[in-house]
């Protein structure tokens, strides 16, 4: 048996600039961190040669071409596993239907690739895992997504990810003094909106709007560098202001990124003392991330008492094999 553990992620600023249609013309940038919520993929040989999948559904097939799950089918094809395997997936924050905005689809893909390479006796570095997961999700499965999540969860930690015009992707750790990093983490709250959403629908519209929203995306990419400078100085009020600015820009990218309910939640948080925030992931639902001075947290929790609060911590590790027998 082999088990991989892959973190989920929180993206602070720059999301949307990781689409190739944009960064081939202007560098895209995202600043994000992995968190202590994970996806687990368990693999085990099957003696009868069949392939069995257990996720939100159960599949039992004779060969990969019969698999309904597009990411599993593509991953098996990419690694060259054609028979005799049992695949089980579990998550600390399972989505009932679609997604929660924490990069779970890419966490699943990266974790699956990591486990499959180990299953076949191969080692894959974080950059290979991210690259292969992008190929599986975008090229093979046709998902209308960018490339930030695959790199964020494969590498883990707090990183500035740059998408260069030549296609090269750089992952640069953001080094903070230990107390600054601890204090930064303490400034955040995350509330579940109560709604899941189809990221693909939102991202398809966003992708189609890239030409029209090009200047907005440039502002979002440049803002990441300002956010990093403020963060390294420990100027959390400034990072909160930039987070707010990023959210206002992001809402311009597609019509369904926000909603009346989300705007009401966000405005309640601001009225209770928050500096800024954003909907995590593509938007439309999932989790609302709020940044505020810790002495304002009790007021914000009271203002958003009807919404479920999720506790999380930043982590350093990316995707890894935690058991192999």
The CATH number of residue 83's host domain is 3.30.230.10
pLDDT of residue 98: 59
Alpha-carbon span 172 to 225, nearest angstrom? 12
Of the three residues 176, 195, 214, the one that is the final residue of a domain is 176
Q: What is the pLDDT of residue 162?
A: 98
Is the same domain home to 188 and 150?
A: no
Residue 105 pLDDT: 93
Residue after which a domain boundary falls, among 114, 142, 176: 176
d(C-alpha 282, C-alpha 301), whole Å: 24
Is position 207 within any domain? yes
What local confidence, expressed as pLDDT, does residue 251 receive?
Answer: 93
CB atoms within 10 A of CB 282: 30
Q: Do both 50 and 159 map to the same domain?
A: yes
Tens digit of each residue's pLDDT, the chain (325 residues): 999 999 999 999 999 999 999 999 999 999 999 999 999 999 999 999 999 999 989 999 999 999 999 999 999 999 999 999 999 999 998 775 557 889 999 999 999 999 999 999 999 999 999 999 999 999 999 998 999 999 999 999 999 999 999 999 999 999 999 999 999 999 999 999 988 766 677 778 888 889 999 999 999 999 999 999 999 999 999 999 999 999 999 999 988 888 999 999 999 999 999 999 999 987 788 999 999 999 999 999 999 999 999 999 999 999 999 999 8
Structure tokens of 312? Answer: 């999380």
Q: Are 157 and 23 part of one and the same domain?
A: yes
Structural domain harbouring 258: 178-310
Domain boundary among 176, 207, 224: 176
| CATH code: domain of residue 254 | 3.30.70.890
Do 197 and 245 sit in the same domain of this protein? yes
Do 166 and 72 belong to one domain?
A: yes
Write down the pLDDT at residue 16.
Answer: 93
Match 């926000």 to its residue by tokens: 258
Does residue 73 sit within a domain?
A: yes
Residues 117, 11, single domain; the answer is yes
Residue 319 in any domain: the answer is no
Cβ-Cβ contacts under 8 Å for 24 (sequence gap 6 or more): 165, 167
With b for 16 or more beta-carbon neighbours within 10 A and e for fewer, the 80-100 pattern comes to ebeeebbbbbebbbebeebbb
Q: What is the pLDDT of residue 283?
A: 78
Q: Are residues 66 and 203 in the same domain?
A: no
What length does the chain have?
A: 325
φ and ψ at residue 149, rounded to 5 degrees: -65, -40
User: How many structural domains does the chain have?
Assistant: 2
- Has residue 125 been placed in a domain? yes
Could you tell me the two tokens for 243? 């987070």
Are residues 166 and 242 both part of a single domain? Answer: no
């Amino acid at each position: 048996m082999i088990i991989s553990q892959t973190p989920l992620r929180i993206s602070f600023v720059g999301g949307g600039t990781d689409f190739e249609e944009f960064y081939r013309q202007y560098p895209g940038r995202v600043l994000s961190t992995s968190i202590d919520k994970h996806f687990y993929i368990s693999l085990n040989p099957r003696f009868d040669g069949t392939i069995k999948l257990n996720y939100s559904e159960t599949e039992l097939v004779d060969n990969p071409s019969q698999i309904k799950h597009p990411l599993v089918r593509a991953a098996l094809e990419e690694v060259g596993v054609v028979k005799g395997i049992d695949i089980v997936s579990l998550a600390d924050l399972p989505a009932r239907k679609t997604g929660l905005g924490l990069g779970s689809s890419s966490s699943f893909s990266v974790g699956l690739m990591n486990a499959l390479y180990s299953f076949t006796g191969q080692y894959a570095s974080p950059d290979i895992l991210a690259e292969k997961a992008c190929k599986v999700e975008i090229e093979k499965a046709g998902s209308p997504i960018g490339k930030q999540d695959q790199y964020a969860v494969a590498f883990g930690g707090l990183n500035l990810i740059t998408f260069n015009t030549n296609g090269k992707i750089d992952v640069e750790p953001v080094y903070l003094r230990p107390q600054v990093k601890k204090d930064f983490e303490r400034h955040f709250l995350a509330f579940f909106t109560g709604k899941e959403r189809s990221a693909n629908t939102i991202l398809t519209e966003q992708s189609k709007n890239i030409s029209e929203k090009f200047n907005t995306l440039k502002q979002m990419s440049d803002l990441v560098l300002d956010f990093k400078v403020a963060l390294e100085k420990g100027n959390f009020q400034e990072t909160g202001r930039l987070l707010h600015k990023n959210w206002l820009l992001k809402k311009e990218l597609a019509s369904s990124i926000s909603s009346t309910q989300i705007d009401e939640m966000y405005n309640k948080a601001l009225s209770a003392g928050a500096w800024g925030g954003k909907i995590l992931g593509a938007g439309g639902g999932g989790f609302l991330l709020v940044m505020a001075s810790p002495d304002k947290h009790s007021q914000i929790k009271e203002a958003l008492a009807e919404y479920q609060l999720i506790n999380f911590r930043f982590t350093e590790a990316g995707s890894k094999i935690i058991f192999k027998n």
